[in-house]
Amino acid sequence: MTFTSALKPGDNIVEIRVVNLWVNRLIGDAQPSTKKKVTFTARNLYKADSPLVPAGLLGPVRILLEEAAGKSGTQARPGQQ
């Protein structure tokens, strides 16, 4: 995702929203402490003790500064000249 045009000089705040998987929400709704369910399905194969599926940001998130090619002190990316 490119958001360079949205950046301004000085400090910037970048907010990344992550959603969960439907199966994890079904498992969450099956918890005994749940007062209000969020989901509905005709056939729920998941129980409160079902293992959660890895979800969200899986791995490192990096925000890199990339200078425009041709500026002094910058190098082209591999495959560019």
pLDDT tens for residues 43-78? Answer: 989 999 999 999 888 777 777 766 656 554 444 455
- The band of 81, judged by pLDDT with boundaries at 50, 70 and 90, is very low
Q: Please report the pLDDT score of residue 21 as a whole number.
A: 93
**Alpha-carbon distance 76 to 68, whole Å?**
9
Residues 6+ apart with CB under 8 A from 53: 21, 23, 24
Average pLDDT in the chain: 80
Q: Please report the pLDDT score of residue 75 as a whole number.
A: 45
pTM of the complete model beyond 0.75 = no
Chain-centroid distance of CA 59 in Å reads 10
In the chain, the amino acid numbered 60 is: P
